[in-house]
Structure 1
Amino acid sequence: MAFGRLERTQGPRPMSDINVTPLVDVMLVLVVIFIITAPLLASTIRLELPKTDAAKPVDARQFVTLVVDQTGQAFLNDKPVQSEELALSLSETARQNPDTEVQLRADAAVPYGRVVEVMGAAQKAGLNRIGFVAEAKPMTGP
């Protein structure tokens, strides 16, 4: 230190590093939101499926989903279809692969006659493998 002379210290320097902590926080929140919403996108048609003890998921090689909601509206692969469109689409599917399975999901409130109409359309198109989708009954304690 010299006489009469003050030393100067460096002032605060600008920060040139990127702070990635907020970016990581936002990305983790987005991942959690995606994990929660992904199962909800599997089927958008609300149904009250009948419950049975024998309900087991079966892996089919090739299948189409046929849904009848509580109002009786038919959906083929989650797209609403009228009776004529349903017959044409099922006929085209049967022409491409006659071993295609029809996985029929019908709301418990749907009249049996409507379910039989939809089944008849599938069989008339040439699709004879029809699987009925139901939910397993909840296990009750002893």
Structure 2
Amino acid sequence: MQMQADDKPYDDINITPMLDLAYVLLIIFIVMTTAAVQGIKVNLPKASDTPSLAKPKTVAITITDGGKIFLDAVPVTLDELAQKLRQRKAVEPDLPVVVRGDGATQYQNVVDVLALLAQLNITQLGLVTQRLVQ
């Protein structure tokens, strides 16, 4: 008895490896996107026990060790910072502001931001520090 070869072309495509690759790429995209949204990393100075000053509508100003200024994780110059804070203060007169200055930044950078806040008459002000570990 002779067996005849099947002359039909192979028309099934195995898509399982392609789906595995798509799922892995989707997971990598989700992890990388959430990791990039967490803000600017700065080395905060240490302080004694202080209560948390963050409120839901608090504006965060970050000063990096290189002297760059960020308003809610968006890089700005000192003039742009003044303009944006004026706009927000017009909407909310008691605008709470939190300043996060890197411990290695020049003191003058923090003083410039604090002077700007004083010019804009922003009185709800907090300086973020790390909790002192004992």
TM-score, reference length from structure 1: 0.68
Tell me the number of residue pairs that the alignment of Structure 1 and Structure 2 aligns: 133
**Preserved CA contact (<8 Å) 1:56 1:136:** no
Q: Evaluate the alpha carbon distance shift between residue 135 and residue 28 of structure 1 in structure 2; reply closer, same or farther with a 3 A threshold.
A: farther
**Preserved CA contact (<8 Å) 1:50 1:134:** yes
Structure 2 counterpart of 1:39, from 35, 39, 43:
35
Structure 1 stretches of 4+ with a deviation exceeding 6 A read none
Deviations 1:93-122 (A, max 9, x none): 101112332221111012334313212312
108-117 or 84-93, larger mean C-alpha shift: 108-117
Between structure 1 and structure 2, the one with the greater Rg is 1
CA-based RMSD of the aligned residues comes to 3.1
Gaps spanning 5+ residues in structure 2: where? none
Gaps spanning 5+ residues in structure 1: where? 1-5
TM-score, reference length from structure 2: 0.71
Counterpart code for 2:86? S
The aligned counterpart of 1:19 is 14
Q: Does 1:71 align with 2:66?
A: yes
The aligned counterpart of 1:132 is 127
Q: Evaluate the alpha carbon distance shift between residue 96 and residue 17 of structure 1 in structure 2; reply closer, same or farther with a 3 A threshold.
A: farther
Quote how far apart the aligned CAs of 1:76 are. 1.9
